[in-house]
Amino acid sequence: MTTRAVALLRGINVGGNKLVDMARLRDLLTGLGYSNVRTYLQSGNAVFSCPPDQADTAASQLEDAIAGEFGFACRVIVRTAPELAAAISADPLLHLVEDPSRHFLGFLSDPPLAEGVARLSDEDFGIDQLRIVDRHVYLWCPNGLMGSPFGKLNFDRVLGVAVTMRNWNTVSKLAGLLAAD
């Protein structure tokens, strides 16, 4: 029996920094014993299968392997297919979404600091909306992320954990890839 999961690499292939070729990433994952490996986009999304007991350690294993293969540190956040489906189902902002490219799901490496959650939950962001549910941050940015107050917000510092964002189109595609294999 295997578990389907997605690895979300943070901060790669942005502005010519931390370059990761997706074919090399697929080979790396396969070499670690993962199967049915597929990547999506150049921003570091890899879907794979692994034994159920390996899903919990996949993020740290991938971080170590990426450092060895590519020569730099890269945070990796992993969600199993059921965890991603639950995050999608729990979205409290989906009713607002008119353009999925302006709706974002932030994946947190660990549970966030309570004071960070309180600070963000109490703040008024105008037409932009933010909700935090478990290990996920949901954003609705009707004018785009860069025009939003969230574009300059350091979520890692405020929440005390690593955060990587994906727009809703990417999240939906990843969910489809997890379900397809």
pLDDT number for residue 127: 95
Nearest alpha carbon to residue 7 among 144, 159, 166: 166
3-state secondary structure 75-138: CEEEEEHHHHHHHHHCCCCHHHCCCHHHEEEEEECCCCCHHHHHHHHHCCCCCCEEEEECCEEE
What per-residue confidence (pLDDT) applies to 19?
A: 82
Structure tokens at 124: 């008024």
Say what the pLDDT of residue 16 is. 77
pLDDT value at residue 115: 97
Give pLDDT tens digits for 30-75. 999 999 999 998 778 999 999 988 989 999 999 999 999 999 999 9
Angle between helices 58-70 and 22-31 (to 10 degrees): 120
User: Confidence class of residue 163 from pLDDT cuts 50, 70 and 90?
Assistant: very high
Domains in the chain with CATH codes: 3-83 (3.30.70.1280), 84-180 (3.30.70)
